[in-house]
Amino acid sequence: MTLGRFFGFFFLFLTVSCGFHRPPVTVLPDAEKEPEKILFIAIDGIGYEMMHELQKEGYFSDFQPVVPLTVTFPSATTIGFTGIFKPLDVGLVPGYESRFYSYKDNEVIGGTPGDIYKIHVNYKTYFDAFRHTMHEKAVMYAFPGVAGKEDLMRTEKLLLESPKKVIMTYLGGTDGAQHLLGRNRMMRFMIFVDRFITRMKKRYRLLHDEPLKVVLFSDHGFHFDRLKMVGTGEIEKALNTAGLKRSRHLVDENDVVVVEYGLLSAGVMMTHPKQREKAARSLTGVDGIDLVFWPEGKRVHMVNSEGEEAYFDYHWSQGGKPTKYRYVPVSGDPLDYFPIISKSGYASGDWIPDGRWKKMTAQAYYPDAGYRLYDSFFNLVENKASVMFSVKPNYQFGGFAALAGTYLKFGHKGTHGGLFRDTSTGMVMTDDPKMNLPDAVRYDEMFKLFLPQVTRAYQRRHGKREIQFLTQPH
C-alpha cells in the first residue's frame, strides 16, 4: 500500500466518523440502590489461563483469585457481550459477529465503514466508554498497545469524574494485541494494566471518601497457535459434492450462504430449512473442522470429524427457561461427555437438570455445551444460523483477505470462536473481599452476582420472570 493510499483510507475513516453521534448510555434501573460504587472493566479476549498465570506470578494481587467465565458459542465479541448482558435486557443482536447474513436483505451485510454506523448493536450502549467509530476500532488492530492505553485513560477519567454508581468501560486493544502481537507481548501489557489499575484506585481514594469495587471480565478466551486455514474453497467443494451450492443469496433450495468473519475458530452457514442436515454433514470431511451442529425441532444435533454423532434434547418450563435436557448418542460420543455423565451418577440419555449440567461440564474440554448451543441457535441472535461449526484448535476459518491483512503486521498469532476450552473460558475477578464467587461462572450469571438490585429490577419488568430464552424452537 502506498503512503498516499494509506492516508486516503485514514482520512476516509475520519470523515465518516465525524458525522457519527454516539448513542446514549443505557440507564440501569435501581443502580443507585447498589451498596457501593462499582467499576466494571471489560477486557476484550483475555482468557482465564493467562490471568491465572499472572496471579501466580504475583500480579493482580489485590484481586480475589480469578474465576473462569464460560462464554457463548461462538466465543466471539458480538454474541459474547450480548450473552453477558442478557440479564440487563439487552435483547437480540443482529448477527453472531459484526458481519452477518440478514434474512431481510438476503445477503451478508455489516463490517464495512458505513455499516458500523447503520446497524445497531444493543450491548454497546451499556458501556460508558466504548470504541464506536471505525477509526477507533481500526486503532485496536493497527496499534493495539496505543488503543489499550487510551482505553485505560478514559476509564480513569470516568471513574474520577462521573457521579454514577455503576460505571462500565471497555478495554479493546487487548484483542488486537493477542491476534497480532502474541502471548508474551500480551502478558507484558497486562502487567501494565495491573499497575495502572493499582495507581488509579489510589488516586480515587485520595479524591473520594467512599468505597469502590472493581470487577474485571472478558467476553471470550483465546488460543495461541500457528494456525492453518479452513478456507471457503474447501467448504464450497464439500457442499458441491453434496449437491448444494455456495451462494451470496438464498434463492434456490440448494443455496448455502457461508458467512466469512475475520479469522475465527468457528463459522456459520444459512440454508433452506430442508437442507440443514445435508449441509452440516457435508462439512465433516473438510480438513480442520472438528464439530458441526444443526437444530431440528427441540434438538441440536452434532457430528464430529470422526463420524461420531449425538444430539441434545431440551425440555423447558412454561416461563421459557430450559429446566433439563439430555445428551443422546446416535453413534459415539462427539463431546466426550459420557465419562462425565457416568461419574456424576447418570446414564447417557438421562434427563439432567440444567444446574447439574453446568457443574458437571464447566471444566470439560467443551464446557457447558448444551446450554451454549441452545442459546446460540434459539435465543441470542436475530438472524439465526442453520448450521454452525467449530474447527480444531490449530485451525482458523475466514477469508484469505483477512489472513493477508494480518501479514501487514506480524502474522496471526492465534484466535478464538471455537467450542473448545481455551476459547470458551473468559475470566471474571473482583477486588471485593466479601464476594464469594463460584468455581465457574456462566456468562449470563455474572451481572446477577455483582448487580443484584439492577437485575431484579429488570426481572420485575418481566413479571418477576427471569430474562432467559426469548424464543423457542419451532
The C-alpha atoms of residue 270 and residue 281 are separated, in whole angstroms, by: 14
Distances (CA, A) of 198 to 62, 191, 295, 431: 8, 11, 47, 11
Q: Closest by alpha carbon to 330, among 277, 376, 405?
A: 277
Give residues with Cβ within 8 angstroms of 403, minimum separation 6.
229, 263, 412
The C-alpha atoms of residue 85 and residue 447 are separated, in whole angstroms, by: 7
The one-letter amino acid at 63: F
3-state secondary structure of 117: helix
Dihedral, CA of residue 239, residue 245, residue 250 and residue 254, to nearest 10: -80
Cell readout for 362 is: 464447566
The C-alpha atoms of residue 71 and residue 212 are separated, in whole angstroms, by: 26
Global pTM value = 0.91
3-state secondary structure of 269: strand
| Domains of the chain (ranges, CATH numbers) | 24-225+418-461 (3.40.720.10), 230-404 (no CATH)
Cell readout for 281 is: 454433514
Q: Closest by alpha carbon to 101, among 254, 253, 280, 270?
A: 270
Cell readout for 428 is: 471474571
CA 352 to mean position of chain CA atoms: 26
Strands (E), 55-165: 67-70, 100-102, 107-109
Q: Is the Cα dihedral 151, 144, 432, 128 positive or negative? A: positive
The C-alpha atoms of residue 117 and residue 258 are separated, in whole angstroms, by: 24
3-state secondary structure of 362: coil
Pairing outcome for strands 37-43 and 212-217: parallel
The C-alpha atoms of residue 23 and residue 126 are separated, in whole angstroms, by: 10
Question: What is the DSSP-derived secondary structure letter of residue 32?
Answer: G
Cell readout for 359 is: 457443574
Q: Closest by alpha carbon to 66, among 48, 83, 44?
A: 48
Q: Is 344:360 a contact under the CB 8 Å cutoff?
A: yes
Rg (CA), the chain: 22
pLDDT in tens, the chain (474 residues): 333 433 344 444 444 444 556 788 999 999 999 889 999 999 999 999 999 999 999 999 999 999 999 999 999 999 999 999 999 999 999 999 989 999 999 999 987 666 666 788 999 999 998 765 665 656 656 667 778 899 999 999 999 999 999 999 999 888 888 888 889 999 999 999 999 999 999 999 999 988 899 999 999 999 999 999 998 899 999 999 999 999 999 999 999 999 988 789 999 999 999 999 999 999 999 999 999 999 999 999 999 999 999 999 998 765 556 789 999 999 999 999 999 999 999 999 999 999 999 999 999 999 999 999 999 999 999 999 999 999 999 999 986 555 544 444 567 789 999 999 999 999 999 999 999 999 999 999 999 999 999 999 998 887 655 555 444 443
CA 92 to mean position of chain CA atoms: 14
The one-letter amino acid at 289: I
Distances (CA, A) of 327 to 67, 82, 311, 350, 378: 27, 26, 6, 7, 18
The C-alpha atoms of residue 120 and residue 364 are separated, in whole angstroms, by: 35
Across the strands, what pairs with 311?
A: 301, 328
The C-alpha atoms of residue 18 and residue 135 are separated, in whole angstroms, by: 10
Q: What is the pLDDT of residues 137-167, one digit of tens each?
A: 566 566 677 788 999 999 999 999 999 999 9
Q: Is 378:384 a contact under the CB 8 Å cutoff?
A: yes
Instruction: Work out the number of other CB atoms within 10 angstroms of the CB of residue 152.
Output: 19
Q: What is the pLDDT of residues 212-271, one digit of tens each?
A: 999 999 999 999 999 999 988 999 999 999 999 999 999 999 999 999 887 899 999 999
The C-alpha atoms of residue 424 and residue 437 are separated, in whole angstroms, by: 19
